[in-house]
């Protein structure tokens, strides 16, 4: 019965409020391309011959390397249909990864000719006149957002979403609108949670005063129906405005008060009528979902700014993973939020609730949530225990918070001269002078340690139970530092065999493995990066030998750069600051918007990367520019809506 009533309530509220249909950001993938001006350089006459000279031998024919075929594009019309392909080509060329060093190399001018064509095709040369902010699918609150919102709505922090089903992940994050579905089981959990929340809140003195807007005496009835309704309207209007994160629409308050009237007509108390209405609010789609209205939802050209309250909601869930506070509500009500965005962002970055950016962005960007599932083999790593696992995670989270709190350069994520250690982790690192369980800031000497890629948390999640994994470590760097993830491995390629077949050190065995041409194209990108971290064992401890073999931490990247050891590897990575800025910008935008990046987002990414370079790569610049961007502040209708 509870489920039936709840579903009827959900459907009624959605119908009466006129919620927009859920749509996928991917539905708009080709919208921008449809209106593109053909680039001034001819693909067929000037670009295709360069591809034939330098690329088609590998990326053509019946079996193109990495299933990445370029010989299928013969003219401008064919090329302009697949803009994602050319974005990848430009990334590889700019990074010097392609063509491989053993192949003939294009001149600098030829590389620029290709990348200029790609930039024009993607709209970079026409960013001011061709705008597409995209469209975000209606999003329900994920578990973290639900817990935080309940905490700030009623003033009790008790994590009611702990037993909700796990949130699905898309594009590396669990706040993506496209994947946050609502199952019957989850709605049943919402109904049960609403009852528990209301009961606990009204039993708690502070929460009761918060919900009853400071006047518990209003709950007392003098028998006058008029007085009771006035009391109920005051309480429910205040609570629903905050829960829905906007002023109420006409008729919404009347529908909520009808729950109180229903209770009274059945000789129930005003108290129980209020409880019933509060439960209805907490199971409404306007609470459970972040709703954004389109004026013309069927028109993909109908670009418009989101409302002030929608902007306040986007901002608060981006930085705090919770509802707007009263200051954001006030600014939205007075239409002052947009002109005060810089100040509001900086205020929010100094609030304790910004810890959510560490918990929900950093932990997913860096894949730290995998650490709890890692099980290093005790025979190989007897030092690993729960205390060390916890210390690993805390080091990385404190380090991320320091970059945020001190508004440091994002390049510190690649290499830095400090970290945070307690005695347990310092002993693991071989660093003297740190005692006790408390974490403290520790200055690092120049050398191997420093930055995310040398922290034990990252090194552990990119290892196997019994050994390191240069492949996983290289892949992690490509995905999270350079923004050039490798394609999936071809089918039917065997995994690396251990000592039974291949012999020698791990590096030697891997070199034998990638002699297979099917493996070489991807491993040439991943393995050298991972080899640079081989001085760190499977749980991040320093070592000079792998069993009887001395560690060889040298490598040669596809662009021809060579290095030996983690310090030189980090120096090369830090030199690719544009690639890292772009990678982090795309991940931050993805997290902030709740959708994946599309070709039409390139202009926005370019502008943010340029702003970072101009402002010493300050962390606050990244956040402010994301918030001030068109995709964050605007939306459009959906192509194909009926």
The per-residue pLDDT for 577 is 95
Is the separation of the CB atoms in 165 and 183 below 8 Å?
Answer: yes
Is the separation of the CB atoms in 637 and 299 below 8 Å?
Answer: yes
Q: Is the dihedral of CA 493, 498, 499, 502 positive or negative?
A: positive
Is the separation of the CB atoms in 256 and 244 below 8 Å?
Answer: no
Q: Is the pLDDT at 402 greater than 90, yes or no?
A: yes
Question: Confidence band (pLDDT; 50, 70, 90) for 118?
Answer: confident
The per-residue pLDDT for 3 is 39
The per-residue pLDDT for 595 is 96
Nearest to 305 by CA among 637, 634, 552, 621: 634
What 3-state DSSP class applies to 536?
A: strand
Most confidently modeled range among 184-193, 486-495, 554-563: 184-193
The per-residue pLDDT for 45 is 85
Q: Is the pLDDT at 32 greater than 70, yes or no?
A: no
Stated length of the chain: 642
For residue range 94-105, what is the model confidence (pLDDT) as tens digits?
777 778 777 888
For residue range 415-468, what is the model confidence (pLDDT) as tens digits?
999 999 999 999 999 999 999 999 999 999 988 999 999 999 999 999 999 999
Which of 5-14, 147-156, 243-252 comes out lowest in average pLDDT?
5-14
Q: How far apart are CA 537 and CA 469, in angstroms?
A: 9
Give the CA count within 13 Å in the CB-facing half-sphere of 457: 29
As a whole number, the mean pLDDT across the chain is 87
The per-residue pLDDT for 490 is 64
Question: Confidence band (pLDDT; 50, 70, 90) for 15?
Answer: very low
Strands 545-546 and 554-556, sheet pairing:
unpaired
Question: Confidence band (pLDDT; 50, 70, 90) for 611?
Answer: very high
Model pTM score = 0.86
Which DSSP letter does residue 217 get? G
Q: Is the pLDDT at 641 greater than 50, yes or no?
A: no
Q: How far apart are CA 501 and CA 407, in angstroms?
A: 51
Q: Which pairs from 503-512 meet CB under 8 Å and 24+ separation?
A: 504/549, 505/546, 505/547, 505/549, 505/552, 506/467, 506/468, 506/470, 506/534, 506/546, 507/470, 507/531, 507/534, 507/552, 508/549, 510/470, 510/471
Give the CA count within 13 Å in the CB-facing half-sphere of 490: 18
Averaged over 482-499, what is the pLDDT?
69
Question: Confidence band (pLDDT; 50, 70, 90) for 13?
Answer: very low
Between residues 391 and 205, the one the model is more confident about: 391
534-572 residues labelled b (16+ CB within 10 A) or e (exposed)? bbbbbbbbeeeebeeeebbbbbebbeebebebbbbbbeb
Which of 204-218, 228-242, 257-271 comes out lowest in average pLDDT?
204-218
């Amino acid at each position: 019965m509870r489920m039936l009533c709840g579903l009827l309530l959900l459907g009624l509220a959605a119908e009466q409020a006129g919620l927009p249909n859920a749509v996928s950001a991917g539905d708009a993938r080709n919208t921008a391309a449809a209106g593109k001006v053909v680039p001034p350089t001819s693909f067929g006459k000037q670009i295709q011959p360069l591809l034939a000279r330098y690329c088609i031998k590998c990326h053509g024919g019946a079996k193109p390397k990495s299933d990445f075929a370029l010989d299928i594009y013969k003219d401008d019309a064919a090329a302009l249909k697949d803009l994602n392909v050319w974005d990848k080509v430009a990334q590889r060329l700019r990074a010097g990864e392609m063509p491989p060093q053993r192949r003939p190399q294009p001149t600098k001018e030829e590389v620029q000719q290709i990348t200029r064509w790609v930039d024009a095709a993607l709209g970079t040369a026409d960013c001011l006149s061709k705008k597409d902010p995209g469209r975000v699918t209606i999003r329900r609150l994920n578990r973290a957002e639900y817990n935080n919102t309940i905490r700030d709505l009623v003033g009790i922090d008790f994590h009611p979403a702990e037993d909700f089903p796990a949130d699905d992940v898309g594009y590396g994050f669990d706040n993506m609108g496209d994947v946050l579905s609502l199952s019957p089981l989850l709605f049943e959990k919402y109904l049960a949670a609403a009852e528990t929340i209301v009961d606990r809140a009204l039993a708690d003195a502070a929460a009761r005063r918060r919900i009853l807007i400071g006047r518990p005496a209003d709950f007392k009835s003098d028998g006058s129906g008029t007085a009771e309704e006035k009391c109920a309207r005051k309480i429910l209007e205040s609570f629903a405005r905050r829960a829905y994160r906007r002023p109420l629409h006409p008729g919404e308050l009347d529908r909520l008060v009808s729950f109180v009237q229903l209770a009274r007509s059945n000789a129930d108390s005003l108290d129980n009528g209020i409880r019933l209405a509060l439960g209805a609010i907490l199971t409404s789609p306007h609470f459970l979902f972040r709703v954004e209205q389109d004026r013309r939802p069927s028109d993909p050209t109908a670009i418009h700014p989101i409302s002030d309250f929608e902007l306040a909601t986007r901002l608060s869930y981006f930085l705090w993973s919770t509802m707007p506070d009263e200051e954001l509500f006030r600014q939205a009500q007075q239409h002052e939020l947009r002109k005060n965005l810089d100040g509001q962002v900086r205020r929010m970055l100094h609030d304790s609730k910004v810890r959510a950016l560490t918990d929900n962005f950093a932990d997913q960007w860096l894949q730290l949530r995998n650490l709890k599932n890692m099980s290093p083999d005790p025979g190989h790593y007897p030092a690993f225990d729960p205390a060390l696992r916890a210390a690993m995670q805390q080091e990385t989270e404190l380090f991320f918070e320091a970059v945020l709190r001190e508004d440091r350069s994002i390049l510190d994520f690649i290499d830095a001269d400090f970290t945070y250690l307690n005695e347990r982790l310092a002993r693991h690192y071989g660093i003297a002078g740190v005692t006790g369980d408390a974490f403290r800031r520790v200055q690092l000497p120049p050398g191997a340690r420093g930055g995310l890629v040398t922290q034990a948390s990252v090194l552990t999640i990119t290892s196997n139970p019994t050994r390191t994994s240069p492949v996983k470590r290289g892949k992690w760097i490509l995905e999270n530092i350079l923004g050039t993830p490798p394609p999936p491995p071809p089918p039917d390629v065997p995994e690396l065999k251990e000592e039974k077949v291949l012999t020698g050190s791990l590096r030697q065995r891997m070199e034998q493995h990638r002699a297979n041409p099917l493996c070489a194209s991807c491993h040439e990108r991943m393995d050298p990066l991972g080899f640079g971290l081989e001085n760190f064992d499977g749980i991040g401890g320093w070592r000079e030998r792998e069993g009887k073999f001395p560690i060889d931490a040298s490598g040669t990247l596809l662009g021809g750069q060579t290095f030996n050891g983690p310090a030189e590897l980090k120096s090369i990575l830090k030199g690719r600051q544009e690639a890292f800025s772009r990678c982090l910008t795309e991940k931050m935008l993805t997290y902030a918007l709740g959708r994946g990046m599309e070709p039409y987002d390139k202009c926005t990414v370019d502008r943010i990367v340029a702003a970072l370079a101009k402002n010493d790569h300050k962390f606050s610049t990244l956040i402010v520019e994301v918030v001030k961007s068109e995709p964050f502040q605007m939306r459009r209708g959906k192509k194909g809506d009926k």
